[in-house]
Amino acid sequence: MSSAQDIEALKKKFGEAVVATVEFRGEHTAEVKLASLKEVLAHARETLGYDFLIDISSLDHFGKDPRFEMVYELATVDDSKHLRIRAKVGEEDSVPSVVSLWAGAEWHEREVFDMMGIRFDDHPDLRRILMWEGYPYYPLRKDFPLAGRPSEMPDVAFTGKAPLEGGPFVTAPGEGNPVTREPRSREID
């Protein structure tokens, strides 16, 4: 079966739980209701053969309701099929964890929690993965200021110049293409 046939199979099995489908440049996406998300993902893995979870990400549709959206990128290990499953998530909603389906989902879900504040039910270790415990903000939300937030921990979160600015591992600004500006192409003092 192809990804297009799998989308049709999902629509047939889950009916109104499949809210919309999109095909764009050969990529197939199914938007499903949050209440059916884990069941749809389990069916995609167990029945349709999507045994590889490529990525889990989230979107912030600030100003809309529901505000968030979860995106699951699935594939077969032999790379013959790709499928994207999306679900809208309200600010107060939590998402079912899929760690029981794909062990690799654990860190993806922790990152979504840490950066967006979306909670996952039944996650085995839902704690921050990039920011420190107790950090009260979610940096990838659209209402997070670009200049950052004040911090009580200046050694961890600073707003000054980066310590390696202009150093050997930073691409040099200026003319030329990225290859000639790349650090290994110039002499380091």
Residues 6+ apart with CB under 8 A from 53: 72, 73, 74, 98, 101, 102, 104, 105, 108
Q: Which CATH architecture has domain 3-147?
A: 2-Layer Sandwich (3.30)
User: Are the C-beta atoms of 51 and 42 separated by less than 8 Å?
Assistant: no
The counts of H helices and E strands in the chain are: 4, 7
User: pLDDT tens across 151-162, in order?
Assistant: 666 555 555 544
- Read off the pLDDT band of 150 (50, 70, 90): low
d(CA 185, CA 138): 38
For residues 82 and 179, the model is more confident at 82
Where helices occur in the chain by DSSP H, the ranges are 3-14, 37-46, 105-116, 178-181
Map out the domains of the chain as residue ranges.
Answer: 3-147
Average pLDDT value for residue range 78-94 = 96
User: pLDDT tens across 18-38, in order?
Assistant: 999 999 998 999 999 999 999
d(CA 37, CA 31): 9
Half-sphere exposure of 167 (CA within 13 A, CB side): 6
- Read off the pLDDT band of 164 (50, 70, 90): very low
Percent of the chain past pLDDT 90, that is, above it, reads 69
Q: Could you tell me the pTM of the whole model? A: 0.79
pLDDT at 43 over 90: yes
pLDDT at 186 over 60: no
Report the chain's C-alpha Rg in angstroms. Answer: 21
User: Are the C-beta atoms of 120 and 129 separated by less than 8 Å?
Assistant: no
pLDDT at 58 over 60: yes
